[in-house]
Every structure is written in C-alpha cells, then in structure tokens.
Amino acid sequence: MRAVILISGRGSNMEALLRANLPVDFAAVISNRPQAAGLDIARGLGVDTVVLDHRVYGADRAAFDAALAAEIDRVGADLVCLAGFMRVLTDAFVMRYRGRMLNIHPALLPAFPGLNTHARALAAGVKIHGCTVHFVTPEVDAGPIVVQAAVPVLEDDTPERLAARVLAQEHRIYPMAVRWFAEGRLHWGEDGRVRVDAACAAEGVLISPTG
C-alpha cells in the first residue's frame, strides 16, 4: 500500500508513522509551508518531499486542493494521512478521498474539535483528555472514529504539559490506525461508524488512562 503524509509544521506524527515499520510505502511527504521542519526530517529518513505553498494560490482554496490532489494521484497513493496539516480542505477534495484519508486530532472527539484543544479542555475542567484518529469528512473533525487514547488531566496541568502527554499517545495510536487500514481491518459501515476486526479490538480501540 502506498501513502502520502500531509504536514504543515514540525511533523512529529509524520515521524512516528515513518519510524513505525508499517506495511506501507510512504511515497511522499507534502507540506503547504516551505519552512516546515518536518520536511528535513522526512528527507533524512529517505522520503521524497513536495512543497505546495498555499500562499501562491491566494484565497482560491479549490485551486490549491486541485494541485494537492494532482500530487497525491501522481504517486498513486492509496491512503492520505493528515499529520498537523493546517488547511481546511474543500468538500470536493475530501469526497475524492473518502474512506482513504485519516487525521489525528488532539482531543477526545466529538469534544473539542478545532484548535487550542488543550487550553479549552483545562478551561472546561474535564478530568480526561486525549486524542483521536478518524476518517476525514467534509465537516471538520467530525468523521468516523477509528481509535482513541485518553490521559488524565492533572491538577497542576498547563496546556503545554497536557499537550506533551497527549502527543505521546498520538504517536502510539496513529501508526496503529494506519497499520489496521493497510491490513484491511477497518470497516466504515452504512451507519457511519467504523468497526474493526477482532484482532484490532484486542489491541485496544481505546487506550485508557494509567494515572
């Protein structure tokens, strides 16, 4: 199976995927920001990189998405992995890759979609926070959930401390989800929910707090 990873910044989840020895040929890492630190990491790991600077396209989101789709299709990707890709994709783009595009979000969806999730979780006083891998749909951060990991929220947490604990779990569950996809073990049902094979369930579709 061939995949591409889309990034906008440091690429820590990208690196976790590339280092996970998955049954996947990562054909390219694509960034909308020329200075994204993850590009150098990808090159250092022997993965081809592509820069599509969104600023070149101005406010024309459809034109940018068309150029992005052309790059994805050029390498023959079976799966698109969003890893800190800070672009809202057009509905047409999302539907083009329906069932073949995954995202990692730093919250326990459907709670706290969007940005600043850790600060919002602390402000809300939640006792459990975490991260979610989900299929991408036109509604942002609302696609069918594949796997989640939870961490406890501690009394002395700051957004930065909480983010660090959540990020460690992101690096754990994103490679799991991509491997399950590559092995054909994810099933997106007509009811909109994702079901997994028994072996996946045994690994854990919810990684629970340990204290």
Q: Which of 65, 116, 117, 57 minimizes the C-alpha distance to 88? A: 65
Contact assessment for residue 5 and residue 17, using Cβ atoms and an 8 Å cutoff: yes
* Distance in angstroms (rounded) separating the CA atoms of residues 135 and 1: 17
Q: Which of 174, 125, 126 minimizes the C-alpha distance to 149? A: 174
Annotated catalytic residue within 105, 118, 129, 171 = 105
* Distance in angstroms (rounded) separating the CA atoms of residues 99 and 211: 35
The CA-atom distances, in angstroms, between 91 and each of 88, 139, 186 are 9, 8, 23
> 105 an active-site residue?
yes
Instruction: Indicate which residues carry an active-site annotation.
Output: 105
